[in-house]
Amino acid sequence: MASLPRMTRRTFAAGTTLAMLSPWALAQGYPTKTVKWVVGFPPGGGTDVLARTVAAQLSTQFGQQVIVDNKAGAAGMIAAESVARAEPDGYTLLTADIAILALNPAIYPKVRYNPLTDFVPVGLMARFPLIVATHPGSGITSLQQLVADARKGKSFNYGSAGVGTPHHMAMEVLASSGGITAQHVPYKGDSPAMQDVAGKQLPVAVISPSLSLPFIKDGRLVPLAVTGDQRMAQLPDVPTLKELGFAPSGIYAWQGLVVPKSTPPHIVSALSAEMRQALALAAVRQKLAELGMEATPSDSAEMDRYIREEMRFWDKLIKSRGITST
């Protein structure tokens, strides 16, 4: 996995500097109408919440409405295909996440977009670790116990937001590192997987913090591990996969912003500057932090490099594990 913290030290500084400058998007006559921001996942999940948080701030900065359009399905590919074919005028944006850009091309045989040639990166936005959770009546006391039992032949089912999602991939990394097998139960999004675990119909699931933290707080879910490089501030007693020896580094659901290819460079630059200004605001960063997210603003070139690094890592893992969409 690409080391985003190392890559973004310069970017954070650049974003902070840009935030002190006056945005010049309006001076270029853009935007003059409503901007549509397409999200390839259902409302309420981490990716959707991030888009709505940043879109609300951009609406203020632009003086034009930025509306979020959820086109869920097919691991984000429906949304990606629609934006790849949209008019390249800066009025259709896409939250392009790890699944759309790095995982789908390695898992699905017929991806009808090219992540490197059909889009122009605007910049990275944020990332969040995932939470491996169980329910209070499962009898699972720790991730170490779960893995130890699996090594003895006691396999288990786990739920995720779907095939090829970072939730799914986090457990594939765990299975590979831990030398175990587990039965993947894919759902259409975080929420139904979480509901089935909380309802005791499934022993384990990998869930985003924005959805699972309230369930953990009221006792309906029990966290076993988080997938980031460090423990979460909201869950200081919950270990990471990395510290338990089940992952080489942090695993994150990360998101960036892209536009269709051939979008004019001055619009891409304007969007990048405006987005980084939004992500530099204390109120926005605080909102993301409350949801377990970390702002990771970057420019277009930085995002392009990161996409390529992530594609190389995940392509190798997916092939070694024999992961397919069928």
pLDDT on residue 28: 62
pLDDT on residue 29: 84
Give the DSSP H or E segment for 77. helix 77-84
pLDDT on residue 265: 96
Q: Decide if 184 contacts 144 (C-beta within 8 A).
A: no
Q: Is 120 helix (H, G, I), strand (E, B) or coil?
A: strand
Amino acid at 308: R
Domains contained in the chain, CATH given: 4-128+254-321 (3.40.190.150), 131-226 (3.40.190.10)
Give the DSSP H or E segment for 121. strand 119-129
Low-confidence stretches of the chain (pLDDT < 50) are: 5-25, 27
Q: Decide if 169 contacts 241 (C-beta within 8 A).
A: no
